Amino acid sequence: MSLSTSRIRDFSDLDLDFIKHPVTKDVNKKTGPDAVARAIRNLILTNYYDRPFRPSIGSNAQRLLFENINPLTSNLLEQSIAQTIENFEPRARLIGVKVIAVPDKNGYAAKIAFYVNNRPEPLGVTVFLERIR
């Protein structure tokens, strides 16, 4: 094992789809960049006060989804998502966030580009944001 590969940490997280492993019958794990991408998706979809004892975690993007679909709302969503990732996901370095309005589906497509720490290749996540209530 070389020195450069020994420094790379592999991140892991639970697969929140709760698909069981075919052999162990336990819940699958997300590892590496997939775990970080899933954590970013979860942070964006989390509202303030959703997590017990940690009320400030989340993007609170849901509150903006009830505004009119326009470029100003897209810009506010971009800022909210970028701030959330920079504040609460230390495993990722944000490249950029682009939020595109999809008026036909009454929502927004958020495209997030980032680097996972200790990984050279950039990754991307697309999350569709829509009103729930």
pLDDT score recorded for residue 55: 87
Query: Which helix H or strand E contains 13, and what residues bound it?
Result: strand 12-14
Residue 112, beta-bridge partner list? 97, 125
| Residue 90, pLDDT score | 93
> pLDDT (tens digit, 0 to 9) for every residue of the chain, 133 residues total?
444 444 556 676 666 566 777 787 777 667 678 888 988 998 999 888 888 898 888 888 888 998 999 999 999 999 999 999 999 999 999 999 999 999 999 999 999 999 998 889 999 999 999 987 6
Helices 71-88 and 33-45, packing angle to 10 deg? 130
Q: Which two tokens stand for residue 69?
A: 């679909």
Q: What is the third-level CATH fold of 33-130?
A: Nuclear Transport Factor 2; Chain: A, (3.10.450)
Q: How high is the pLDDT of residue 17?
A: 63
Question: What is d(CA 133, CA 1) in angstroms, rounded to the nearest whole number?
Answer: 52
- Asked if 61 contacts 80 with a C-beta cutoff of 8 angstroms, the reply is yes
C-alpha 81/C-alpha 21 separation (Å) is: 32
Alpha helix locations (H) across the chain? Answer: 3-6, 33-45, 71-88
Report the SS3 class of residue 106.
Answer: coil
pLDDT for the residue 9: 61
pLDDT score of 131 = 87
